Chains A and B, each alone.
Chain A
Amino acid sequence: MSSTTNNAGRLDAVAPAIELSGISKAFGPVQANKDISMTVAKGAIHGIVGENGAGKSTLMSILYGFYKADAGSVKIDGVPTQINDSHDAIAAGIGMVHQHFMLVDNFTVLENVVLGAEEGATLGPSLRKARKELKRLADEYELDVNPDALIEDISVGFQQRVEILKALYRQAEILILDEPTGVLTPDEADHLFRILRNLKEQGKTIVIITHKLREIMDVTDSVSVMRRGEMTKTIATSTTSPEDLAEAMVGRRVLLEVDKKPAVVGETVMQMKGLSVTDVHGVKRLKNVSFELKRGEILGIAGVAGNGQSELLEVISGIGAATSGEVLMHGEAIDVSKHANAELRRKRGISHVPEDRHQRGLVMPFMTWENTAFGYHNEPEYSGKMGLANQHHMKEDAREKMERFDIRPPNPQLVASHFSGGNQQKIVLAREIERNPDVLLIGQPTRGVDIGAIEFIHQQIVNLRDAGKAILLVSVELDEIQALSDRILVMFDGVVQGERLPENTNEGELGLLMAGVDPEANS
């Protein structure tokens, strides 16, 4: 199972930086890691790919001492090392940049770097030393950040640099990055990869967890593939291809493209006019956004997370209020003030599959039959007399939906948290699509969804389009936007940075737009 990656002929001369053997970890009844062994050569960039829930993050969290393995052992630089907590990992020269940054928002960069690596009981000397050290690291690795800026005031790209600086300040020799490009623009991602290559040249060992195969091909020397808690293969990157890796991830050949006919676009259903949103902190999240949505089209909104897409969905779906601007449906204005109500939107034929199904789309402790009526529970079909609910119909209805959408296990009495990500998303989708809406708003349709379910979900969206409905798709996955959309809007910093047709654009151009650069304006 394990195979040493021989990087530039340094075979056996140097002990591998990381050697994991027989790692197993269970969370309750779920076996997240099964007998995993893996070796990473010193000075290599090693990738770990796998679907959501394959156990990548768990494995690396074990290496970082965040979780404790049930079985298995770890060698660092050939030395058996017991890692019980993050403190041990740091002492062993391991640093980790978590997917969700582990930073204190109302602390300065400097305080965050110093936290846990203080020199003595008082802070003064530590802060002075860290300030000097940060400057040196910034010069050496292109890691410039203002040490006195508050974390909450800097962009995610900079926050990520702070995480890397934290690791380097602790003299990490091994750096683990968990989905590091998920929140970055393609441009920022390239900068990150430059930093990583730079670190590699200095002899650091790097492990990247990602589900993006392109990145693996670009930046790594070797790659391991994980599937359902097991490590299915480890291979030198130069001897593999994205197709091979995808197959190893899923266990079969997958179709990376969506099968769809050309769109038959009809009349305009919705018009957004000058929508702006200012949040409670006075930050402008959405700035004067205008566009139209037509029957029979999938309008894709591309952009890095946090550039106003969420606010846009919230305003249109009636969850959030617009500070200014209006939304017209069939030429008629709908309420976008703070009095807006999502239930009224549904009555007008606007369905919404929200970005966050755990927090919004589903009530996790609710049974499926309660969830399949959620948001429509006051509709006559679900209502009984005197404010009662028609529970008999709710259960029947849930049973039918579960059958039509192949939701497993098909038991309406199970609570939402029992289902896999893909099946949870199908519950939401079944509820929203079966209402036969004029407009479907859909955010991150396949986030945390296994590949098998992705195909099904994409097909449902396309079917709805072919039935003449208008679909607004928000996704941070550029591949998904390109595969599904009939028209693409790119958002950056709360504005629509550009509009493209998928057949006339490419990933490079869209990436520039996502970073706030208009290639046409520049050329």
Chain B
Amino acid sequence: MMDFLTNDLLLLSDSAVRNAIPLLLACLAGLYSERAGIFDIGLEGKMLVAAFAAGAFSAIAGMPAYDGGWEMGAWSVWIGLGAAIIASTIFSMIHAFASITLRGNQLISGVAINFFAAGITVLIGQHWFRMGGQTPQLREGQRFEPISLPFAESLKDVPIVGDIYYQLISGHNIIVYFGFIIVALTWWVLYRTRFGLRMRAVGENPGAVDTAGISVVKLRYSALIITGILCGLAGAYLSLGTAAAGFGKDMTAGRGFIALAALIFAKWKPISAMGATLLFGMLEAIGNKYQTLDLGFVVLPGQFMQALPYILTVVILAGFVGKAIPPKAGGEPYVKER
């Protein structure tokens, strides 16, 4: 039993956390957007472009000068992170311009952004690195390293508590811890600040916000800037904070959509978003660990585990797990003049 706890469950939980972080960040990104009344199915594309920018710029920043690099050493990873945030925010602003200023169809805008990201990352990647769309393998200083929390080593041998602390809580990179801080921060912003009150209001009834003398446009743009930043973090985590250590073509692999599903599952609430993404992270961990799952009466193939998050998402969307009521003004452009 102890063996199962320490070896299997802890390891699974540990990789669940790692899998959950990009989902969590993207999910929170979507939360800001959708709470402000803008549908965002372009999370996938923003994450992808951020992952590419992170991988590419961290690589370039860390390269020796004779390769055209900037020789920035340990700063490279931060250059990569900054590039990811900027790239993702630019994409978010395109979505904002289409949805808010031009009052275009938000779903179509999201679809276009996803395709644009899928294409442009490979085109530019190939142009820059000539590696079939990949970015060069990142080395130390170019990626985020695990952080050992205080006393992790000394508590290591304490049964259960020490195991959990050492294996599960300690030893992640900074974006992981940051992700959990953002959950708390988002809760506070949403329910305890002026900005949060206005943002929730604009997603429910933009007319109320407008007549209260607040600019709907500015408010929604602000929310989408935050969406851009968080998607940037999510994408940067994929190329700078995982074993991939670099960008690979289509590396988001549907995570943007799973994040969207998690957002619906979480009913657009930050704490629940953490729960939902951890659950999906765990599913992915189980799928990775057990290539085929022998349940005694039936053996499930690996592809089933791969599809399981999507199947669950459909089940969730079908409302078999409680009814999710989206922000009322979501998806509809705000039109004041007749």
Taking beta carbons and an 8 Å cutoff, which residues of A are in contact with B? 27, 64, 66-67, 85-91, 96, 98, 100, 102-107, 111-112, 114-118, 120-124, 126, 166
A123 B197 Cβ-Cβ under 8 A: yes
B192 A98 Cβ-Cβ under 8 A: no
**CB-based nearest B residue for A127:** B197
B201 A66 Cβ-Cβ under 8 A: no
A–B Cβ pairs within 8 angstroms, 16 of them: A64-B211, A66-B211, A85-B213, A86-B211, A89-B213, A98-B211, A100-B207, A102-B211, A104-B201, A104-B205, A105-B205, A107-B204, A115-B214, A116-B209, A116-B214, A123-B194
B197 A111 Cβ-Cβ under 8 A: yes
Confirm or deny: B289 has a beta carbon within 8 angstroms of a beta carbon on chain A. no
Query: Which residues of chain B (201-258) have a CB below 8 Å from chain A?
Result: 201, 204-205, 207-215
Residues of B within 8 A of A104 (CB): 200-201, 204-205, 208
Residues of A within 8 A of B204 (CB): 104-107
B208 A115 Cβ-Cβ under 8 A: yes
Residues of B within 8 A of A107 (CB): 200-201, 204
**CB-based nearest B residue for A107:** B201
Residues of B within 8 A of A126 (CB): 194
State the Cβ distance, A75 to closest chain B Cβ, in Å.
Answer: 20
B193 A66 Cβ-Cβ under 8 A: no
Q: Given A120-B194, A123-B192, A126-B194, do A27 and B205 touch, yes or no (CB 8 Å)? A: no
Residues of A within 8 A of B328 (CB): 105
**CB-based nearest A residue for B327:** A106
Confirm or deny: B187 has a beta carbon within 8 angstroms of a beta carbon on chain A. no
Residues of A within 8 A of B197 (CB): 111, 114-115, 118, 123
B195 A112 Cβ-Cβ under 8 A: no
Given contacts A89-B213, A122-B192, 12 further A-B contacts (CB under 8 A): A27-B338, A64-B211, A66-B336, A85-B213, A90-B213, A91-B213, A98-B207, A102-B205, A104-B201, A115-B201, A115-B212, A121-B195
B194 A86 Cβ-Cβ under 8 A: no
Residues of A within 8 A of B18 (CB): none
> In the complex, what distance in Å separates the CA atom of A89 from the CA atom of B338?
20
Q: Given A67-B336, A118-B197, do A103 and B208 touch, yes or no (CB 8 Å)? A: yes
**Most B CB within 10 A of own CB, among A88, A91, A117, A123:** A123
Residues of A within 8 A of B212 (CB): 86, 90, 102, 115-117, 166
State the Cβ distance, A172 to closest chain B Cβ, in Å.
Answer: 12
> In the complex, what distance in Å separates the CA atom of A89 from the CA atom of B211?
9
A115 B198 Cβ-Cβ under 8 A: yes
**Most A CB within 10 A of own CB, among B193, B205, B328:** B205
Number of A-B residue pairs having CB atoms within 8 Å of each other in the complex? 79
B207 A102 Cβ-Cβ under 8 A: yes
State the Cβ distance, A25 to closest chain B Cβ, in Å.
Answer: 10
> In the complex, what distance in Å separates the CA atom of A98 from the CA atom of B154?
66
B213 A112 Cβ-Cβ under 8 A: no
> In the complex, what distance in Å separates the CA atom of A105 from the CA atom of B197?
13
Query: Which residues of chain B (159-196) have a CB below 8 Å from chain A?
Result: 192-196
Residues of A within 8 A of B195 (CB): 121
Residues of A within 8 A of B336 (CB): 66-67
> In the complex, what distance in Å separates the CA atom of A66 from the CA atom of B216?
12
> In the complex, what distance in Å separates the CA atom of A27 from the CA atom of B336?
11
> In the complex, what distance in Å separates the CA atom of A116 from the CA atom of B198?
7
Neighbour of B194 across the interface among A85, A102, A103, A121, CB < 8 A:
A121
Residues of B within 8 A of A122 (CB): 192-194
State the Cβ distance, A180 to closest chain B Cβ, in Å.
Answer: 15
**Most B CB within 10 A of own CB, among A98, A102, A104, A166:** A104
State the Cβ distance, B318 to closest chain A Cβ, in Å.
Answer: 17
**CB-based nearest A residue for B205:** A104
Residues of A within 8 A of B209 (CB): 115-116
Confirm or deny: B3 has a beta carbon within 8 angstroms of a beta carbon on chain A. no
Residues of B within 8 A of A67 (CB): 336-337
State the Cβ distance, B39 to closest chain A Cβ, in Å.
Answer: 19
> In the complex, what distance in Å separates the CA atom of A105 from the CA atom of B201?
9
Q: Given A121-B195, A122-B194, A123-B192, do A102 and B208 touch, yes or no (CB 8 Å)? A: yes
State the Cβ distance, B35 to closest chain A Cβ, in Å.
Answer: 12
Neighbour of A124 across the interface among B192, B208, B210, CB < 8 A:
B192
Q: Given A86-B210, A89-B213, A104-B205, do A118 and B338 touch, yes or no (CB 8 Å)? A: no
State the Cβ distance, A381 to closest chain B Cβ, in Å.
Answer: 37
Residues of B within 8 A of A103 (CB): 205, 208
